[in-house]
Amino acid sequence: MKRVLITGGAGFIGYHLAKRLHKANYKIDILDNFTRGVNDTELNSLTQKNNIELLNIDLLGQKVDEKIDHNYSYIYHFAAVIGVQHVLKSPYDVLDKNILLLINAIKAARKQKRLERFVFASTSEVYSGTLKHFGMDFPTKELTPLTINNISENRTSYMLSKIYGEAMSLHSGLPVTIIRPHNFYGPRMGLSHVIPELMKKVVELNDSSLDVFSVDHRRTFCYIDDAVEMIQLIAESKNSIGDFYNIGNEDEEISMNELAKRIINLSSKSIKVNPLPPTPGSPERRCPSMSKLKVAVNYNNKYSLQKGLEETFKWYNSSVFLNKGVSAI
């Protein structure tokens, strides 16, 4: 049985990847210190499985590589300081901690005896400077030249940490695959993302209007089950070493205005959208080209946006909004 280590595994992507790999008969270790993730009923239930273990380890600590086993076949590095609010409030911590997290993950990876792949989770934010200053093609391909935004802007810190992380990973000497996630959504993703944020507002709203920022900004969204299947497939592809891949969906591009209306319809409420100005620093458009990944692993998304929104709304309504449960952040 091949062993897998997922750093930041209590978070949104890590949890769903572990859930998928559990069904595929891997031995999975979820590493997290719960600085941001939560040990909720879903995670607790998952870690009761006989092939999943929870490692409560601080990846920012000293000599972490000595606390981690040396027989993993795959290491997925998802641990990072993320979220717009964290980035805006503490840009230095974003730079400092994200790089240190990666340094310690690489140290642990270098000690592995049979490592087949080290997967570094970058971000779609790496394209935002190019869009802002020069414009770019949509859907956006991985070979698009990257441009750095003004480094004095707090929001740039996250992008910088991930671009630097990509370079570190590529030059680490490890069998590396870099993924650039684009707008994943689904159950257990916290409340600080646009889809669950809007869902929460709609459920709690008694007025006849819903405030929505950046109504003309456009996105494509990728349901989490599609996302983790793509991540696993590209990680296990023998031809993906030393390469970059968008992970997302290039179909069903939608404006924030239309997204809000779809979520309102799920609630069966009579609410109108109240358009507000664009969020500072938010890209006007984001749509990844998935042609490179499709060639590599021949994958097509299985979830339509409508189906994914329905599944997400159903989970949040029953697990969080009605029962006041917690959700990973």
Question: Treating both helix axes as pointing N-terminal to C-terminal, what angle do 256-267 and 194-204 enclose, rounded to 10 degrees?
Answer: 40
120 φ/ψ angles, rounded to the nearest 5 degrees: -105, 125
Domain ranges of the chain: 3-189+221-251+286-305
Residue 108 has pLDDT above 80, yes or no: yes
Order of all β-strands in the sheet with 218-219: 254-255, 218-219, 285-286
Residue 326 has pLDDT above 90, yes or no: no
Residue-wise pLDDT tens digits, 216-269: 999 999 999 999 999 999 999 999 999 999 999 999 999 999 999 999 999 989
Q: What is the percentage of the chain residues whose pLDDT exceeds 70?
A: 98
Residue 114: predicted pLDDT: 96
Residue 279: predicted pLDDT: 85
Please tell me which of 23-27, 81-85, 107-111 the model is most confident about, judged by mean pLDDT.
Answer: 107-111
Residue 328: predicted pLDDT: 63
d(CA 82, CA 89): 11
Residue 329 has pLDDT above 70, yes or no: no
Which value, in Å, is the radius of gyration of the alpha carbons in the chain?
Answer: 19
**Dmax of the chain from CA atoms?**
60
How distant, in Å, are the alpha carbons of 126, 146, 177 from that of 290?
16, 18, 16
- The mean predicted confidence, pLDDT, of the chain is 94
The band of 297, judged by pLDDT with boundaries at 50, 70 and 90, is very high
CATH T-level topology, domain 3-189+221-251+286-305 = Rossmann fold (3.40.50)
Residue 310 has pLDDT above 90, yes or no: yes
Residue 314 has pLDDT above 60, yes or no: yes
The band of 20, judged by pLDDT with boundaries at 50, 70 and 90, is very high
Residue 98: predicted pLDDT: 97
d(CA 52, CA 162): 28
Print burial letters for 212-241: b (CB count within 10 Å at least 16), e (below 16). Answer: bebbebbbbbbbbbbbbbbbbbbbebeebe
